[in-house]
Every structure is written in structure tokens, then in C-alpha cells.
Amino acid sequence: MELRDYFEKNPHVALAFSGGVDSAYLLYAANRHAKSLRAYYVKSAFQPQLELEDAMRMAEQLGVELKILPLDLLEDSAITANVSNRCYFCKRKIFSTILEAAQKDGFTLIIDGTNASDEAEDRPGMKALQEFSIASPLRLCGLGKDEIRRRSKEAGLFTWNKPAYSCLATRIPHGETITEEKLKKTERAEAYLTTLGFSDFRLRLLGSSAKLQLPTSQLKQALEMRDVIVKELRKDYSAVLLDLEARDE
């Protein structure tokens, strides 16, 4: 089944929008083929400002109405406890918020950007999608990440080569309490590293230290910029560590 066929059968959709590669392409396709569409972005301390800015930019580029829904995930102890299936509790909160807003706007079908490359066993939040009957057209139509990037590039979407992104909470080890302070300093550090030209990296919390995980191709640059990186990140961390087991590219 093609996406056009999907939206012919389901012409009125509300999209859980993150601003990432997958949901951006789904927004583009729904905007072309659905009869009515609205996008919903849940803004919490778990998403950096840069992600919201990308979501707003894409919605503006496509001329789609975007509703921003503030949500305090830190008030839920099941989430801040940061157990191994924390993502499940997060997704339940996020999708219940979107579902409530969408129903008020007259939408009964919620879709998201899960694609055919996403393995259910690797995503604890997939259970929450099933419980809320969230539809995943990209997955249903057999579209994986590589094909979505190719189609996004053809469509002129600036997100086509955007690195995969996971929420700020994933930088905190399981079992360690999630706090606003930890999330904010992670966001500050990653935003700073982005201004230096680094991409597709993670900054993990290791005790009171920061552990920087970079693609192999960026390790040399990190060593060359060691002094400025350490100077900035030591404002929030007791030490700055470089993981030599680089992220896959």
C-alpha cells in the first residue's frame, strides 16, 4: 500500500509530530493526500529547544497548522524513577495529551512516524502506541529509514539528512533519577557542541562527569578542540570524558 492509498482510506488525521526525519516526511505526505490534517508537538523538558524550532520550521514550510502542547513529565514519579521501560510511561503521557487535544479538535485518528525499520522489541514505547491505537502509516506501507530519507530529499525537506535523535532523558543512566537540572545541563552542553560543528553525537551523564560519544570521523576534531570543549562543559560537569568506542556512522 502507498501512502496516498492510506490517506484515501483515512482522510482526516492528527499527527504526533516530533520534527524528526520520519514525522516530517509523514507530515509532508499527509499534507498532500489527506483531506484534513493537524500536527501536535508535545513540549516538555525532555526535548531541547532545537527540536521545537525544527518542528515549527517544517510546519511553516509545509503550511500546516501546528499545535504546541506543554507537558510536565517531571511531575510523574513513574517517569523520573527512570526504570528500563521509562519510555513506555513517557509515551502514555504524551499520547494521552495529544489524543485529548485532537479529540477536542474533531480528530479521532492519531498517526505517528514509526517506520518499517523500527523494531518493536527495541522500543518500549511501542506498547503505548498499541494501547492508544496510534496508527503508523510509514510502517504499514513498508517504508524504512533509508527510503524515507531518499523521498524526503526528493521532496526538498530540510530534515532529509537530519541525524536520528532520542530525548534528553536517554542521556541519564537507567535507575538514576531524572531531574530538570540534569536535563537542562545536557541540553546546554549538546547545544554548545552543535555550534562547534559536531553532529549525531550523545553526551551521557556518568556520575557528575560528562561522557562524549562521537562518530569516528569527529574524534580528531574533538581532540583539536579539547581546550574549548573542556572549558565550557566544566561549568556543569566535574570532568569531561571522550568515549573512544565511537558511535556508528
* CATH topology identical between 3-155 and 179-242: no
pLDDT digits (tens, 9 = 90+) for 208-220: 999 999 999 999 9
Domain 179-242 has CATH 3.40.50: no
pLDDT at 249 (0 to 100) = 45
Domain residues of the chain, as ranges? 3-155, 179-242
What does each of the 249 residues of the chain score in pLDDT, given as a tens digit?
Answer: 899 999 999 999 999 999 999 999 999 999 999 999 999 999 999 999 999 999 999 999 999 999 999 999 999 999 999 998 999 999 999 999 999 999 999 999 999 999 998 765 556 678 888 899 999 999 999 999 999 999 999 999 999 999 888 899 999 999 999 999 999 999 999 999 999 999 999 999 999 999 999 999 999 999 999 999 999 999 999 999 999 986 764
pLDDT at 5 (0 to 100) = 96
pLDDT at 120 (0 to 100) = 59
pLDDT at 35 (0 to 100) = 97
Domain 3-155 has CATH 3.40.50.620: yes
Q: Quick one: three-class SS letters along the chain?
A: CCHHHHHHHCCEEEEECCCCHHHHHHHHHHHHHCCEEEEEEEECCCCCHHHHHHHHHHHHHHCCCEEEEECCHHHCHHHHCCCCCHHHHHHHHHHHHHHHHHHHCCCCCEECCCCCCCCHHHCCCHHHHHHCCCECHHHHCCCCHHHHHHHHHHHCCCCCCCCCCCCHHHHCCCCCCCCHHHHHHHHHHHHHHHHCCCCCCEEEEECCEEEEECEHHHHHHHHHCHHHHHHHHCCCCCCEEECCCCECC
